[in-house]
Structure 1
């Protein structure tokens, strides 16, 4: 708790405040003050009301938490939502998604799809997201204009992709974009080699060297399916994670997405290297990719964050719903009803995501000095009553339609369910037009 003589820009007075750090705490009848885009005060309501504030917002029946952090996704793929449902991963990719991308993805597609994704995520209480898709400069422009926070992972594959004719060109573009945005307050550039089966050792080694020089993170799909792991063993005699360890990629800046297949040796590598795992339960369930053993990882000390993956394989960017699925699935996989309780699930969707991205000193918890990335959930509805533990009610009984307000760096991006900086009707119309174009010309 702290305050200074300067007036607060905004004082929020919710019924409950869940800081996430310290863990398991619920503060009732407390206030949170924002000044210059940062949290300047947290304390009892009586003390809060004595402070000078330019604006005071009463939030009865609401729970304040850190803004949700979506640690993995492909934002522009919102325009492929529902295009090729109910298919196995490799069939979905090779026969449908990759051909559709080759045909349709250009800068306009990425701009319109990313803006649609940003709006959907804001309305779902997400203040920060990780994006891994083509034309990353276009995506970063969308993030800049929206007021949101994001990690942009530059996609790198051994073959040509939209916007880059080779891995070398993608890496060059990445270095340039990293330089352009290294001082941006809300955008962090990272390197995104697609997967072990699409990037050779030579290119992975280049990425490692450059990431080390720039102190940049690496974000990569790893062990998404048993087939991927088995194929690697048959072809090379080595599990993909072991290969990445041999090449020196694992470490606190490495984000391993999916990790549905984890042996004892894999677990040891994750623990020793302090690598983060990004769990995408609904995409993994829908594509029958497997189950990430979240509780096992958590108990071993691995940082586990959560992501929605892209809307083409989920089919939504609903991180609150994703977190509920993660909590339920963790219990089933562990065979224990105590696995991934509600408070830890919320931590996975906030502070753990921030930590995976190297942003935990700035966001992910409500602490004085951190950026005011905050979401207000309305728990006053019929379906949330009665309330014994508001965090349990948030995770197990609340949908994203209960997101009422969202602030990023103290600026309101959602006010009483209304987007403040984006035109929802225009976004919807643009998405419908893309759908008509794609469906009208698809095979």
Structure 2
């Protein structure tokens, strides 16, 4: 007797991420009530299941949905506004002045809508954000059916959003309370960086993180200037300072982590912290090459992030996979560093682990949410295909993403995004903000 399921996907290849380095040929995935209920050979699937919706992906590889472990989604509205500058000049001369004049709840909502539309088309089903007005970002994610972990930004300096660290925390936690029951939207405490947050504020953040069981998401060791400034002001490297203040732990996600010495790596590993590696942004801002192969060898969970579109200028995890693998090889002199399957894990299950979501997403395991993406390998640019894992990392681009599902609901079908807002309206919003930002 056949069982009825909501969704049955037949694929030429399936890479479930767990078990590691596994590629299944001619298999199918069955989904009921938004969750994976079976992964089995196609012939067995046809015998066992009848589906409400069926997808036949004869030239495709099916993967877990990609996880963007660090972005500033609303900054899509500032894409290309300040290129070819080092980090601190980029922030102080371009980004912060524009934000001070223009950032509002409307800005964040519109920019996040644009970012989500871009990310979905590139196979990203979950993003970890850090920006002002998190409620506006939550509204955008809810509207488009995206999974998100939204950072509650904390800095000591006043902005149009909040007056001081206490105000940031109060506003952010109030948003978290209003949205805490949402099935796809969660929250993290997001102190901006060691150089913008005081010891007192960090101590309050550590207290709230423990009390409310919230992740902590922070830019960390991004530039050499950050290290020098911390040594001059605190006589400690930033990671050592956070350890002293009780911030290091398995709930901490350090963003960038470019300038790490052996003592930094040891501290992060001992405290079971995670890293969000943003190779393209690190290159573009000339921040340096993060020692990711060493960090991973030490047992640190390494995820991948894009950073914001103002410093990347794409929200493209497929590109980040390729850059991560190539940078690891050239920086270590070891062509075997970060092989394809390891990088695929960084873009999926490691991202889920870093966000505390690994029991729900990140691999194609029975019982997990059906967050999925399919990549079409039938084009001239991806033929012949001897190894689909290699092709996803080294040959395919986001233009090859054909299908995306979140909770088993189709969000991209044959490359066309199925959104609650039209491309025409998104382009209108982009043009509107471009006019405002240049005047």
The two structures have a TM-score, normalised by structure 1, of: 0.97
| d(CA) in 2 for partners of 1:88, 1:399 | 28
CA distance in 2, matches of 1:348, 1:198: 29
The aligned counterpart of 2:111 is: 113
1:10 aligns with 2:7: yes
CA distance in 2, matches of 1:382, 1:52: 34
What secondary structure sits across from 2:169 in the alignment? helix
Q: Report the 3-state secondary structure (helix = DSSP H, G, I; strand = E; otherwise coil) of the residue aligned with 2:51.
A: coil
Q: CA deviation at 1:269?
A: 0.4
TM-superposed CA distance for 1:437, in Å, is 2.3
Partner SS, residue 7 of structure 1? strand
Match of 1:21 in 2: 18
Residue 187 (structure 2) aligned to one of 186, 189, 197: 189
Say whether the 8 Å CA contact 1:135–1:162 is kept in structure 2: no
- What residue is the counterpart of 2:168 in the other structure? 170
Q: Which moved more, 1:37-46 or 1:48-57?
A: 48-57
Aligned to 2:101: 103
Give the counterpart of 1:199 among 197, 200, 207.
197
CA contact (8 A) 2:152 2:173 kept: no
- 2:41 matches 1:44: yes
In the TM superposition, what are the counterparts of 1:342-421 in structure 2 within 5 Å? Answer: 342-421=340-419
CA distance in structure 2 between the partners assigned to 1:230 and 1:166 by the alignment: 25
Supply the distance in 2 between the matched residues of 1:348 and 1:258 (Cα, whole angstroms).
Answer: 14
Q: Measure the CA separation in 2 of the matches of 1:63 and 1:132.
A: 31
Following superposition of structure 1 onto structure 2, how do residues 246-257 of structure 1 map, counting pairs within 5 Å? 246-257=244-255
Residue aligning to 1:153: 151
RMSD between superposed Cα atoms in Å: 1.0
Q: Which residue of 2 aligns with 1:210?
A: 208
In 1, distance between residues paired with 2:159 and 2:10? 49
Alignment of 1:23-102 (within 5 A): 23-50=20-47, 51-102=49-100
Whole-Å separation in 1 of the counterparts to 2:346 and 2:389 = 13
Q: Give the equivalent residue in structure 1 for 2:300.
A: 302
**Aligned partners of 2:319, 2:161: CA distance in 1, in Å?**
33
Deviation at 1:5, TM superposition (A): 6.5
Partner SS, residue 52 of structure 2: coil
Q: Secondary structure at the match of 2:71?
A: coil
- SS of corresponding position for 1:98: helix
Query: What is the CA deviation profile of residues 305-339 of structure 1, one whole-angstrom value per residue up to 9, with x for unaligned ones?
Result: 01000000000101111111111001112210000
For the Cα contact (< 8 Å) 1:134–1:162, is it kept in 2?
A: no
Contact 2:401/2:415, CA 8 A, preserved across alignment: yes
Rounded Cα–Cα distance in structure 2 between residues aligned with 1:180 and 1:367: 31
CA distance in 2, matches of 1:267, 1:391: 29
Pick the aligned partner of 1:237 from 235, 243, 246: 235
Question: What is the Cα deviation at residue 57 of structure 1?
Answer: 1.3
SS at match of 2:61: strand
Summarize the Cα distance change of 1:162–1:335 in structure 2 as closer, same or farther, 3 Å threshold: farther
What CA distance in whole angstroms lies between the structure 1 residues aligned with 2:318 and 2:129?
18
Tell me the secondary structure at the aligned position of residue 54 of structure 1. Answer: strand
CA separation in 1, counterparts of 2:427 and 2:12?
34
Q: Distance in 2 between matches of 1:404 and 1:425?
A: 21
Q: How many residues align?
A: 437
CA distance in 2, matches of 1:281, 1:400: 17
| Cα displacement (A) at 1:54 | 1.6
Gaps in structure 1 of 5+ consecutive residues: none
Q: Secondary structure at the match of 2:384?
A: coil
Q: Secondary structure at the match of 1:87?
A: coil
Of the three residues 137, 140, 146, the one matched with 1:139 is 137
1:180 to 178, 182, 187: 178
CA distance in 2, matches of 1:166, 1:423: 38
- List gaps (5 residues or longer) in structure 2: none
Distance 2:233 2:212 in 1: 33
Taking a change above 3 Å as real, the CA distance of residues 20 and 162 of structure 1, as seen in their structure-2 partners, is farther
Q: CA deviation at 1:6?
A: 4.5
Asked whether the equivalents of residues 296 and 334 of structure 1 are also in contact (C-alpha less than 8 Å), the reply is no
